[in-house]
Structure 1
Amino acid sequence: MLIRAIAALLLAAFACAPAQAWWEYGHETVAAIAEANVSPSTRREVRRLLASSRLLETPTCPALTIEQASVWPDCIKRLRDRFSYAAPWHYQNVDVCRPFDQEAACADGNCVSAQIERQARLLADKALPRRERVMALAFLVHFVGDMHQPLHSGDRGDLGGNRFAASYGMIAGRTNLHSIWDGLLAERSISTPPPDSAGILAEYSEAERAGFREGTVTHWARQAWEASRDFAYGAVMADPCGAVPAERPVIGEEIVRRLIPIVRRQVARGGLRLAQMLDEALG
């Protein structure tokens, strides 16, 4: 009875909360990896810019640290009309059952990949007002994290898995594939020993870390798109492009254990790639 009560409380808590990619933990871990792997001069510049985050005039959504900045773009969703223009920037619904076609999902630059490149350009432009560069920094930190959550980069026409009902163990009800990957699975994966940013990076050699940094934003988006097909959908369906199961699939302990390394790798990739982009924009 106690376990059922705890599960019900968890479900109620996240069902009523604002939609947040990777919840706070995933974004903050990507940001922490990036901050630990930028050059000292870039780290100083990041902190100098964020010290001016009061210019954003969002007192309910602080951005004084890179961890706070990493969740600022989700926090400002509560401000509704003021920042509603940014809503489509957090994702790109590229069909995993067709050849990779990012352009079709990025009309007028309203997708996460295009915004990562745009925010990096804005951040690098020292002629811009500081407020614009601080905002660009927060958006860049967040969007690199978003893109590495596979269901923000690929889907089956179901709003990134939001319309794909699934259960996480005994937690069911309003849960869906997207919410599981965004929160419950991310929390479990990042906290699995060795936990957090240092523990995740310790699993990879220097050569592997260098390999993570290679490629373009489009290349990274394609990797996340492939992970969406192969692991997000592939973990609960024999054929990721087959018919949706008649019964709600359950992501149980066996599946979770298979997915933990995938999630941790995406977080490591996101953090190291963000570090590289920050060095290029601010170094």
Structure 2
Amino acid sequence: MKRFLLLFAALTGFSAPAHAYWEYGHETIAGIAYRNVTPQVRASIDRLLRNSALLETAGCPAKTIEQASVWADCIKTLGPRFSYAYNWHYQNVNICKPFDIKSNCPDGNCVSAQIDRDVKLLKDHGVPMRERIMALAFLVHFVGDLHQPLHAGDHADLGGNRARSNYGFYSTERLNLHTIWDGHLAERAISTLPVMVRVYSAEERAAMWGGTTEDWSRESWQVARDVAYASAFGGDACADKAPARGTLTPEAIDKLVEPARQQIMRGGLRLARLLDEALGPQPGA
């Protein structure tokens, strides 16, 4: 039913109900990670999520890693209880200025800082079980958010939410660049063969999962600037004469499939690395 409602929202031009990458993207990133962690870490993930009832979030289950991947969006419907986490989903750095993560992450209230925090919480077995489960669910979701370029780059338009754009021959007043990357393009990229949720080779993992959250933030910001906005707004969204409404032609969409797939693969494999670091054997233990 959720998948049907999201499809209906897409076809009618309404934004999805606060699901960055919608369900399909987050679940795919989670699935890639789950298949690429060590067997011991996979068992630790399962053990934590078997106790997810401790979260006491009725209607927002987290019994599997796929459910956990959208839990952080689902809890937005629970009112003020989790309102403190709203700003943790993004860090919209201006694409028309030099990259600067620090000024866009006040007091750690941004997605990259929360990823680092969640890893620390998962490593600490002195943290109560409930808090570690919550850290796991947040981590799985936030790594997905960080790799959606329009959660990292911004043009004074709420990460593309106010950037009205056409998607091929599909155009409505409410369709925007953020929604396109969250849903329409993500669906196209994930559905394009070869299958993305699989075990990756050591060479593939090594090529994608290196770096820090700041490195990944800069990379996603560059994709937002040089790929997402540039493709929709005539090559330079920062130009004085950039069009008021973006347009992704069918030809442009074809060229965007691979960059979109790359971001999802990067997110999945980097999440796998972080989970191995957080839940695997600790140095000196």
Equivalent residue in structure 2 for 1:265, among 262, 265, 279 = 262
| Aligned with 2:224 (options 196, 221, 228) | 228
Match of 1:175 in 2: 175
Divergent runs of 4+, >3 A:
8-14, 243-247
Counterpart of 2:188 in structure 1 is 188
Please report how far the alpha carbon of residue 81 of structure 1 lies from its aligned counterpart in structure 2 after TM superposition: 0.5
Are 2:251 and 1:254 equivalent residues in the alignment? Answer: yes
1:43-73 residue CA offsets vs partner (Å, 9 max, x unmatched): 0000000000000001200000000000000
**Which sections of structure 2, spanning at least 5 residues, go unmatched?**
1-6, 281-285
Match of 1:156 in 2: 155
Number of aligned pairs?
Answer: 272
Cα offset, 1:209, TM superposition: 2.5
Q: CA deviation at 1:245?
A: 4.0
Shift, 1:206, TM fit: 4.1
Pick one of 206, 212, 225 that aligns with 1:210: 206
Distance in 1 (CA, whole Å) between partners of 2:213 and 2:31 is 20
Partner of residue 219, structure 1: 215
CA distance in structure 1 between the partners assigned to 2:241 and 2:183 by the alignment: 22
The answer as to 2:236 corresponding to 1:239 is yes
The 1:58/1:14 distance shift into structure 2, 3 A limit, reads: farther
How far does residue 248 in structure 1 lie from its aligned partner after superposition? 2.4
Match of 1:111 in 2: 110
Separation (CA, whole Å) in 1 of partners of 2:133 and 2:8? 37
- For residue 130 of structure 1, what is the aligned residue in structure 2? 129
**Identity score, percent:** 56
Query: Is residue 52 of structure 2 the alignment partner of residue 53 of structure 1?
Result: yes
Amino acid at match of 2:256: L
In the TM superposition, residue 182 of structure 1 has moved relative to its aligned partner by: 0.7
With the length of structure 2 as denominator, give the TM-score of the two structures: 0.91
TM (norm. structure 1) is 0.91
Gapped regions of structure 1 (runs ≥ 5): 1-7
Shift in alpha-carbon separation, 1:261–1:139, aligned structure 2, 3 A:
same
Asked if the contact 1:230–1:240 (Cα under 8 Å) also holds between the matched residues in 2, the reply is: no
RMSD across aligned positions (CA): 1.7
Deviation for aligned residue 1:85: 0.5
